[in-house]
Structure 1
Amino acid sequence: MLKNAFLAKDLTIDAQGRYSSYNTFGGAKNWKVAINWAPNRDIRFRGTLGTSYRQPSVYQLYSGQQLSYEFANDPCAQVSSYGASSPMVAASCARQGIPANFTMVTAGQVPTLQGGNGALKPETGRTYTFGTVLTPHWVPGLSLSAEYWHYTVKNMISAIGTQYLLDQCYTGANTGYCSGIIRNNQNQQIQTASALYENLGGMRTGGLDLDLDYTFRITRHDRLSLSNNFQQLISYQQQYVPGGQWFNYDGRLLYNNNSGQPRVRNYTTATWRHDAFSFTYMMNYTGGMVWNDQSVDLTKDTGGRYKTPGIFSHDITLGYQLNRWSFQAGVRNLFDKKPPYVVDGATNTNVYQYGSLIMGRNVFLQAGVNF
């Protein structure tokens, strides 16, 4: 809209709209508007506001159902651990004829029915971001940026956690989940708990990203590039039923469904280039998290191990450029950092959070060519 004008080195406004039609869900309208304003060449402001729409995948709709043994505890086997809700749990168990001295026989694992759900509806969302970029002309090669982001999702598609389902039923918070719990008539053990994909209440999350990039020449043949990306999670809240309670998960690791939301992440990279050679060092940091069973945080008294510490990892890469060819050799997880322990029957860690560390220290070689 403006260019090289007073207080408007650049002013751009972008507006978009889209209409989609689905034979299973009907029509959907989405839009986005963005503004990018640079009053001078040293600073730029930007912001976006938009909506989103995601239809369920074929797998989420129609995948076959299967039985999985999920990490969870039967509330009737640990009534006293529910604090103020213990009388409600005891009463719920008694109504089903479960004795007060009831114990589990499956060692903290509950048979859980998982799979597709043909009644799913699409997710809808709204996003806004705003931030600024500094590129001071008196420091060539330097760029600093800060951006705040916020996402809201409704009808979020996911499979509910087994422990949350059990807790909601037996504490009376949501007795609708009780219909999905089937017990063996002879020994009262849980035979199956149904945790299919469904439209959960929603999700609200926001955070701040800070970036620094700086490249400068040391000699005629040498350059050094520094980069740092700092991510601060400000909030992460999830709602499992429309109009229901919002659970705060920022800084928590949900050990029973392999998801974690560390409050802090940081990625630092330094690259030295000498003509065709390059050497890169990268350091990653993932903040510590308290373990959560989707309902409450674990403590030293209730869980023994109850949190995961912050963890650093380091990588190095040596590169060489020969005409159109590029060659690289490097070491991932240079100091052989072990992934932190997390309750998991297969890996004893959270593969979605720390999967890159499971292999330990490893060496790689690769070559590529540009056509």
Structure 2
Amino acid sequence: RATLGTSYRQPSIYSLYGGRTLSYPSASDPCSQAGAYGTRAGTVRARCLSEGINPETFSSAFVGQLPTLSGGNTALKPETGRTYTIGTVVTPHWVPHLSLSVEYWHYTLQNMISAPGTQYILDRCYTGTEQQLCSLVSPRSTSGQLTAISAVQQNLGGLRTNGLDIDLTYRMRLGRQDSLSLSENYQQLIGYFQQYTPGGAWRNYTGRLLYLSGSGMPRERSYTTVSWQHGAFSLTYMVQYIGGMHWNDGTNDLAPQTAGRTRSPGVFLQDVTLGYRAGRWTVNTGVNNLFNRQPPFVVDGASNTAVAQYSGFIPGRYVFAQAGVDF
């Protein structure tokens, strides 16, 4: 099987007309850490000096956070994209109730509607790699401090991503009332590249965790489910795996020479659910995060982890019960 499709997305009302708000996301002033830019350090120092700042003595008044404007942009254009997939489903007759699906997918987006990160804007401006982003940085105060960075919705350059999905399902009857089911969904991310300005550099985020925003693109994900059915009762054991990721600030990977920790390890999350169905009623009870695994540490000023990425680990092990009825 194969598919080929296109997409078209108009900007939302909020993206066009949302009011501007001031926040303080995680970011650092380049003039306070010019030496951290490696071969680009000289360019950063030169720009800081042109703004009347001596990077050797300058100290930012904002510790790890910078004033940033966010909101709508009436100049937004529609976002367009193209998708194609190719795959196959195998159901061998010599193994009844076995199904194997393999699918390759590839997505591209142009004029992607999103907001560039504060640190990305500053890094690309001060290193001279994308001078057009300097227009998003407001003039500094008389004391040399940054006053605001405009990170409103923009038509970013684009997105290219591709990967492989493998699904396996198998059901085995053990007796008149008993059956065993196994399902496995394996996702392999082959590439994830993002461009923040038309004609700008493509950033490789494959296997990276953008710790400033808490979003990650692990190369591997896996969801395994084993379920035993006995009449009206069922017992389900679920294991989720999230692959390890290297930390990235939106522009560069963290290096051991300049940072202590630089990556998050691969982690497993395990849940157990016991269910019972009687007529129209269904009752489920179980334990999520069975072994009380804590989410991996990720540098963050509030939670010390990437909440959006590792939400299943929070708040640790907990027991639940729920009931539902069909009508």
The counterpart of 1:186, out of the listed 142, 146, 154, is 142
Contact 2:295 2:305 in 1 (8 A): yes
| 1:51-84 Cα shifts (integer Å, max 9, x gaps) | 0011111121111111111111111111111111
1:329 aligned residue: 285
The counterpart of 1:196, out of the listed 152, 161, 172, is 152
The counterpart of 1:294, out of the listed 250, 255, 258, is 250
Contact 2:274 2:284 in 1 (8 A): yes
1:6 aligned residue: none
Following TM superposition, by how much is the alpha carbon of 1:87 offset from its aligned partner in structure 2, in angstroms?
A: 1.1
Residue 268 (1) aligns with residue 227 (2): no
Tell me the secondary structure at the aligned position of residue 120 of structure 2. Answer: helix
Following TM superposition, by how much is the alpha carbon of 1:183 offset from its aligned partner in structure 2, in angstroms?
A: 4.3
1:62 aligned residue: 17
TM-score by length of 2: 0.97
| 1:130-181 Cα shifts (integer Å, max 9, x gaps) | 0111001121110011100000000011110111100111111122222222
| 1:236-289 Cα shifts (integer Å, max 9, x gaps) | 000011111111000001111221100000000000000110000000000011
Contact 2:141 2:147 in 1 (8 A): no
1:245 aligned residue: 201
Contact 2:269 2:312 in 1 (8 A): no
TM-score by length of 1: 0.86
Q: How do 1:40-51 residues align onto structure 2 when only pairs under 5 Å count?
A: 46-51=1-6
Higher CA-based Rg: 1
2:29 aligned residue: 74
The counterpart of 2:116, out of the listed 160, 164, 181, is 160
CA distance in 1 between counterparts of 2:150 and 2:232 reads: 58
Deviates more, 1:311-320 or 1:295-304: 295-304
Aligned-partner residue type, residue 15 of structure 2:
Q
Tell me the secondary structure at the aligned position of residue 37 of structure 2. Answer: helix
CA distance in 2 between counterparts of 1:183 and 1:347 reads: 32
1:232 aligned residue: 188
1:136 aligned residue: 92
CA distance in 2 between counterparts of 1:102 and 1:304 reads: 24
Contact 2:28 2:64 in 1 (8 A): yes
The counterpart of 2:214, out of the listed 258, 274, 289, is 258
Tell me the secondary structure at the aligned position of residue 201 of structure 1. Answer: strand
Deviates more, 1:221-230 or 1:172-181: 172-181
Aligned-partner residue type, residue 332 of structure 1:
N
Tell me the secondary structure at the aligned position of residue 163 of structure 2. Answer: strand
Contact 2:25 2:67 in 1 (8 A): yes
CA distance in 1 between counterparts of 2:297 and 2:155 reads: 31
C-alpha RMSD of the superposition: 1.1
CA distance in 2 between counterparts of 1:78 and 1:300 reads: 16
Tell me the secondary structure at the aligned position of residue 70 of structure 1. Answer: coil
CA distance in 2 between counterparts of 1:351 and 1:253 reads: 12
CA distance in 2 between counterparts of 1:63 and 1:256 reads: 23
The counterpart of 1:278, out of the listed 216, 234, 241, is 234
Following TM superposition, by how much is the alpha carbon of 1:362 offset from its aligned partner in structure 2, in angstroms?
A: 1.0
Overall identity of the aligned pairs, in %: 59
Residue 170 (1) aligns with residue 126 (2): yes
Aligned-partner residue type, residue 58 of structure 1:
I
Tell me the secondary structure at the aligned position of residue 235 of structure 1. Answer: strand
Deviates more, 1:102-111 or 1:271-280: 102-111
| 1:70-103 Cα shifts (integer Å, max 9, x gaps) | 1111111111111111111111111110113212
Contact 2:11 2:78 in 1 (8 A): yes
More strand, by proportion: 1
| 1:304-343 Cα shifts (integer Å, max 9, x gaps) | 2221111100000000110111110011111111111222
Following TM superposition, by how much is the alpha carbon of 1:122 offset from its aligned partner in structure 2, in angstroms?
A: 1.1
Larger relative contact order, structure 1 or 2 (CA cutoff 8 Å, min sep 6):
2
Aligned-partner residue type, residue 318 of structure 1:
L
Aligned-partner residue type, residue 203 of structure 1:
L
CA distance in 2 between counterparts of 1:59 and 1:342 reads: 31
Gaps of 5+ in 1: 1-45
